[in-house]
């Protein structure tokens, strides 16, 4: 994948529903900006009715241009707390941030991915094989929930 300060690394960006089931997964180099990986992940959603109205993300996606792009082109509200060192005036009020309390479901899904050692150690040399193992993990996570 891509070069980082301590070798090669991979970022896995996923979209989950409100119960924590993975809907879409995207794999990219670890040196890429996370705000640029949101839209390719949204493009991987198979069904148009699965497109969320609100997208919960961490502070890494605090970008006004990303908020405008998601809201204008896709009709998705990006809910993420503002960075502390933000220079522009905050555009999101406290009512939208109340939805951020449900972010634990996303973090819980990330911990479910950590149950698969092959994904943590990253034995595969190509991104296609690694993505295949992530898909298998998504299927197993989904089957365990039912």
pTM reported for the whole predicted model: 0.80
d(CA 66, CA 56): 13
Q: How far apart are CA 25 and CA 76, in angstroms?
A: 18
Distance, in Å, from the CA atom of 115 to the CA atom of 117, rounded to the nearest integer, reads 6
Q: Is 24 helix (H, G, I), strand (E, B) or coil?
A: strand
Residues of the chain predicted below pLDDT 50: none
pLDDT tens profile 55-78: 888 888 888 888 889 889 889 888
Domains assigned to the chain = 2-145 (3.30.420)
**Cβ neighbours for 23, distance < 8 A, ≥ 6 positions apart:** 14, 15, 16, 17, 45, 50
Instruction: Find where tokens 């034995």 sit.
Output: 123
């Amino acid at each position: 994948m891509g070069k980082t300060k301590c070798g090669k690394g991979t970022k896995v960006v996923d979209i989950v529903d409100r119960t924590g089931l993975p809907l879409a997964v995207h794999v990219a180099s670890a040196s890429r900006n996370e705000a640029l990986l949101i839209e390719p992940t949204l493009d991987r959603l198979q069904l148009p009715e699965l497109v969320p109205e609100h997208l919960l993300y961490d502070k890494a996606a605090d970008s006004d241009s990303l908020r405008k792009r998601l809201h204008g082109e896709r009709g998705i509200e990006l809910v993420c707390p503002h960075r502390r060192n933000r220079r522009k005036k905050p555009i999101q009020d406290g009512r939208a941030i109340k939805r951020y309390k449900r972010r634990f479901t996303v973090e819980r899904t990330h911990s479910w991915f950590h149950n698969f050692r092959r994904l943590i150690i990253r034995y595969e040399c190509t991104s296609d094989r690694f993505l295949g193992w992530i898909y298998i993990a998504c299927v197993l996570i989904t089957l365990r929930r039912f």
